[in-house]
Chain A
Amino acid sequence: MLILIFFFSYSILAAGCWNYKEIDQLSVVAGVAIDKGIHKKFSITVELVEVVSGKEQQTKSKTVTVEGKTIFEAIRNEISLIGNKSYWGHAKVLIISEEIARKGILEVIDLFNRDAETRSDMQILVSKGRSAREILEAKGLTEEVTSFELDEIIINEGSVSNAPLIEVWRFTNTLATEGVGTIAGVVDLKEENGKCRPYVMGTAIFRNDKLLGFIDGDESKYMLFVQNKLNGGVLFEEIKGKDEDMSVALEIFKSHTKINPIINDGNIEMQIKVEVTAAINELGGTINVIEDDEREGLVRTAEELLKNRIEDIIKKVQKLYGVDIFGFGIKIKANYNKEWKLLNGNWEDNFKKLKINVETKVNIKNSGMLSKPLEIGD
């Protein structure tokens, strides 16, 4: 019995407080920026959260930049700078500079997929035209910690739809899937009152893991329409009336996109059906577009506009990049597997030649709290 107790307690005690660490001794990493190093291959900038307790608790952040031949080496080198081992369990964003991204980001994201401490739901952002470090060092508008602010921006991006929401795991998955191209959000700085604020807008398009180029925020919205990932946003249109022109803003509540590949005379054609439920949210004039007859016109213009924009962005991507970021390949593979096997070998060229046919439908749900345009009485 005594021996049993001895062995039991020994096996417990020998385990020796595996992984024990007090919460206040952690250097919590909020986000990381990866640039090309001057001396070594990578230069990584880590944003650490500092909590200052006192009468009122304050959250501050500081950034530390270190270089290393690999990302992991850089992270470990950082210990000798900050004293503590950094804790990556709460890191939110991974910003990659354009320079690194153009060379390929496989070796960057490998660690963030492999390591047990980092989360695979970190947001991937590409810094357009600037070093990633600059973005982490800029202060956000609402939060003290830039990375947390960026994280919040991306999450709330859903109601603007200016940039895609791409986490590390999603990026890795898309990278491994054939028939769809990889994308990531774009982050940049905007000067405001003499201070630089980070903002997220646009999409970075990759061929495999190498950056090809960017599309802007508005184009990103129509790209999201095609990808059926749009959760909200604004449709803006101009109405031509008898006396005046009027701008109308529609708020998108629901959008559903169906992509059907059809074979026509041996050629594959993508049929894209977009159905949008929206509400009139803003009228820039006095033309009554709410009445039945007028609304018809409004809907038609909206449908027309949506169709044109979607066609534009698809054509642009086809022409400029030739990367199937919309996932047409997946649809073809699912529906016409035999044909896909033929196309697959040279999908990029085939994608460039792919015919598309966009159909749009807009449903107007309501006109907000008012059932009429504002009136001007003389």
Chain B
Amino acid sequence: MFGKKNRSTDNNGMDKNKNSKNKKNNKNNNNDKNNNNDKNNNNDKNNKKNNNNKKNNNKYSNLFLSKSLEDNITLFETIFSDDEMFVTRRFQNKYLNKAKCCVMYFEGMVNNNILNENIIQPVLNNNLAEEINTRNLFEELQYKVIVSNNLKILNDLDKIVSSVTYGNTIFLLEGYDKVMLIDSKGWQTRSISEPESAKVIRGPREGFTESITINITLIRRKIKNSDMKFKFKEIGYRTRTKTCICYIEGLALESIVNELERRLDNMEIDAILDSGYIQEYIKDEPFSPFETIGASERPDVIAAKLLEGRVALFVDGSPFVLTVPFVLAEAIQSNEDYYNNYIYSTINRIIRMFSTIFAISIPSLFLAVTTYHQEMLPTQLLLSIAASREGVPFPTVLSIIIMLLIFDIIREAGTRMPSPVGETVNIVGTLVLGQAAVEARLVSAPVVIVTALTGILTLMNKNLIAPCMIIRFVLILLTSIMGIYGFVFGYIALIIHIMSIRSFGIPYTLGITSLRNHDGQDIWIRAPWWTMTLRPKIIGAKNLIRQSMKRSRRQ
């Protein structure tokens, strides 16, 4: 269902778009045939969407601002009726009776100081009758009286309403059917702190917050360049969540930017509370456990990805910024790799890479070797495994599956526990389930070792926990039926699946399969910075050269 919808909307978007590059991209994205049915469906959907939009607009379309101040006040008070946080403050200039004004705002959303000192006080106290031209009062107030760095004049009710709910102040003046929207946002935000989800030993300690403006500042402070482009969009017809597509012009491929915009435009959702909603909505492979859209809480990571030609998507209210395209290799890259010595980083990266491979294969290989291919074990190991299994009632498959499930239960239980309770979970997990289960001969000791090892290896790459978990169980099931053949079949299927995934037209396995030129230098290893003169292929195709080979070291 989901996939079909995405695909069909894809086609439509591309039909409209006559950009040849885009068409190419589209081809990459959708190898599926253009189905007539799909198109029809799609048209229906579009109509529906338009209807929806109309409905939305209808809400205020029969309401208009009038020239009377009181009428306008009533208008807004009806719009925000039954909302006691909505404040209306009428005031008048001391010297000019004609200047009857009113500010309206939401309590708590605005900075009261700005309101008092920069709006109300100047309008109240200045001798407007002498100082300004009273005939064109509205413009004169804007230019000469009100102290504000960000101010808009509007008469579109829809925009006014969404703006005032976001913390701006409405300024109304008697005799004008338009509104001055003054930026007075003053709500509390969380301070910038190191993200819990991605701590580093070496590297910047900043993390994104829930405020999109602060997040964008964090990026702009890192890349001081006029090529940085920010395109805002509102998504979610109830939450009206601000999102921002960010990319570096001249590095990011237009086709990817356009494709992202198109997918966002096609979203029909009423609420967005975290970037995860969007991540799932616009994902390339809706049924795959692999993520094709990256998310990070760290400005340095996002900046680095922008500089490689990727496109970022900020979502208000979420400290997780999305990046597209996202390839598999990114899941095992860590930002700290680039700040530490490259030899050390390479070792770490290889460890991470193999830990993921082992995390999915160790339990099934153990199973295959102990239940099907005992000749593959060294004799001594065979005997000691056989000894530890003595008296264990359950088959090895069952005990491995149960122990792995228990591990996942403990992990899930520990994740959201307050730390004192978390310790209890630890003790129960290690002592009761590990040691006691072996002593009571419910499982054999090697199974516990395999489970613990698998668990640790899985947790090494937090980006790949979900795929690891799912693939692991599939492989165990296949192995339990067919032995090592099953394992090999499963692995082949897995590789075919990974190879078939595209993220915004970019092959998911980009760089992994090739070691030519500069392809593998940031995938399997982390090459020294002075040798990484090229950006990753395809993603950075627009401007491949990153830097020169020269090192500024001692001559």
Binding site for B on A (CB under 8 A): 12-13, 15-24, 26, 28, 49, 51-53, 57, 59, 87, 89-90, 92, 117, 119, 148
Contacts and interface: CB of A to CB of B under 8 A. Distances in A.
Given A22-B371, A87-B374, A90-B379, A12 B481 contact: yes
B481 to A, nearest CB: 6
11 contacts: A13-B481, A17-B480, A17-B481, A18-B481, A18-B483, A19-B483, A22-B395, A22-B396, A23-B386, A57-B384, A89-B374
Contacts of A17: 480-481
A15 B481 contact: yes
| Secondary structure call for the B interface | helix
Nearest to A59: B383
B492 to A, nearest CB: 14
B384 A23 contact: no
Nearest to A24: B389
B86 interface: no
Given A15-B482, A20-B372, A53 B379 contact: no
A20 B374 contact: no
B499 interface: no
A49 to B, nearest CB: 6
Interface string B470-508: 000000001011110010000000000000000000000
B370 interface: yes
Given A23-B382, A117-B375, A57 B483 contact: no
B385 interface: yes
A49 B383 contact: yes
Interface residues of B, number: 25
A227 B374 CA distance: 36
B376 to A, nearest CB: 9
Contacts of B392: 24
Nearest to A89: B375
Contacts of A52: 387
Nearest to A117: B375
- Top-9 shortest CB links A-B: A89-B375, A24-B389, A51-B387, A53-B387, A53-B390, A57-B387, A90-B379, A23-B370, A23-B386
A119 B379 CA distance: 13
B390 A51 contact: yes
A237 to B, nearest CB: 41
B318 interface: no
Nearest to A21: B371
Interface in B387-403: 387-392, 395-396
Contact of A90 (B382, B387, B388, B389): B382
Given A18-B481, A22-B389, A28-B379, 16 more contacts: A12-B478, A16-B481, A17-B480, A18-B483, A19-B483, A20-B371, A20-B372, A22-B396, A23-B374, A24-B390, A51-B387, A53-B388, A59-B383, A90-B375, A92-B379, A148-B379
A20 B395 CA distance: 10
B374 A26 contact: yes
Contacts of A117: 375
B423 to A, nearest CB: 31
A153 to B, nearest CB: 16
Contacts of A26: 374, 386
A51 B381 CA distance: 12
A331 B482 CA distance: 48
B514 to A, nearest CB: 32
Interface in B341-376: 370-372, 374-375
A6 B392 CA distance: 34
A28 B375 contact: no
Contacts of A23: 370-371, 374, 382, 385-386, 389, 396
